[in-house]
Amino acid sequence: MAKVLLKGNEALAEAAIAAGCRFYSGYPITPQTEILEYLSWRMEEVGGDFIQAESELAGINMVLGASAAGARALTTSAGPGFTLKQEGISYLVAADLPAVIVDVMRIGSGLGDIAQGQGDYWQMTRGGGHGDYRTIVLAPNSVQENANMMALAFDLAEQYRHPVLIASDAAIGQMIEAVEIPEFIEHDIDKFDWTIKGCKEGTPYKKIQNVYYTDPQYDIHLAERYKTIEENEQRYENYCVEDAEIVVVAYGISSRVSREAVDIARSQGVKLGLIRPITLWPFPQKAFEEAKEAKAFMTVEMNILGQMVDDVKLAVEGKFPVEHYGSIFEIPESDGIVEKAKEMLKEVK
């Protein structure tokens, strides 16, 4: 398929259709509303179902019903709306149901603001809702990746029978880039044996409910599933990490600025490298094995508290200083990252 110019949000929506998603329910909130708007006409064209729900709560529970019935089901939101979805995400987890939930992050707690942010990292990687779970989180950094990650997200969701989150942000959602929409996939709602579709008399009927009610080995099932995901699903992209003395860790739009910072720093003789987590959970600890010359690490994030710092500290097992270069409302500047790297280098040398 030829490349087309699309907004990040539109590319994500079209890619959901391409990935065989035929059920969407969402609620308007900036900066993800284009996904809702796009699917309001596109679902109609492909014979799928689109519902503008009365709230995020209703939207996520519609997704749960659609998923239990076998559809590839999607809902999208941002910050405050994403918080309302946590109830349903926790229930999806408890019932072993797949679904894809997108958070096009904005800045701040409470209402915050509509500017791009990366302040939902803790919420997305630590569970978000009540209970004993974590979700796979994919973090695209371009319009093309917004498109590429939809099919992957649905595949992973079905493979592990678990909701998968996509951590986009206002910058990626709103920017326009050339994008190639992936090939269309047909999804069969009768593909899996666990979906509800009605049962003939005398055959076992299906119960979609908390798995620990029905599985006496629940504790083992739960522990093994997350262990398998941690082992198999770490995704990352390393750039100039092997000989780097300072390593930036950044995802999403911040990773693109950071990559630019690496080039600037290297042109000035500063050995800067970049680890870019593509999965925020499981956190790509394997990526750090390559950082053999590193003396210090720095996360670059669009938040003030440095939400990813803890994960980097765990990845380096506390052996190196881990600092944070943050921004609010603005995307971090590459020059600022380089300056920070130079200061850090002075301290560790």
Distance, in Å, from the CA atom of 270 to the CA atom of 135, rounded to the nearest integer, reads 37
24: its two tokens: 């969407």
What's the closest the beta carbon of residue 348 comes to another protein, in angstroms?
Answer: 50
> Nearer to another protein by C-beta: 204 or 269?
204
> Nearer to another protein by C-beta: 127 or 326?
127
What's the closest the beta carbon of residue 185 comes to another protein, in angstroms?
Answer: 17
Q: Which residues bind another protein (CB under 8 A)?
A: 22-23, 25, 49, 51, 53-55, 57-59, 61-71, 73, 87-88, 91, 95, 189, 196-201, 205-210
What's the closest the beta carbon of residue 60 comes to another protein, in angstroms?
Answer: 8
Distance, in Å, from the CA atom of 97 to the CA atom of 209, rounded to the nearest integer, reads 10
What's the closest the beta carbon of residue 91 comes to another protein, in angstroms?
Answer: 5
What's the closest the beta carbon of residue 17 comes to another protein, in angstroms?
Answer: 16
> Nearer to another protein by C-beta: 67 or 255?
67
What's the closest the beta carbon of residue 135 comes to another protein, in angstroms?
Answer: 17
> Nearer to another protein by C-beta: 45 or 317?
45
Whether omega before 284 lies within 30 degrees of 0, making that bond cis, reads: no
> Nearer to another protein by C-beta: 22 or 271?
22
In this structure, are strands 176-179 and 4-7 parallel, antiparallel, or unpaired?
antiparallel
> Nearer to another protein by C-beta: 25 or 299?
25
4 contact partners, CB below 8 Å, separation of at least 6: 178, 179, 180, 181
Q: How would you write 167-182 as a 3-class SS string?
A: EEEHHHHHCEEEECCC
Q: What is the DSSP letter of 237?
A: E
Q: What b/e readout covers 70-89, taking b as 16+ CB neighbours within 10 angstroms? A: bbbbbbbbbbebbbbbbbbb
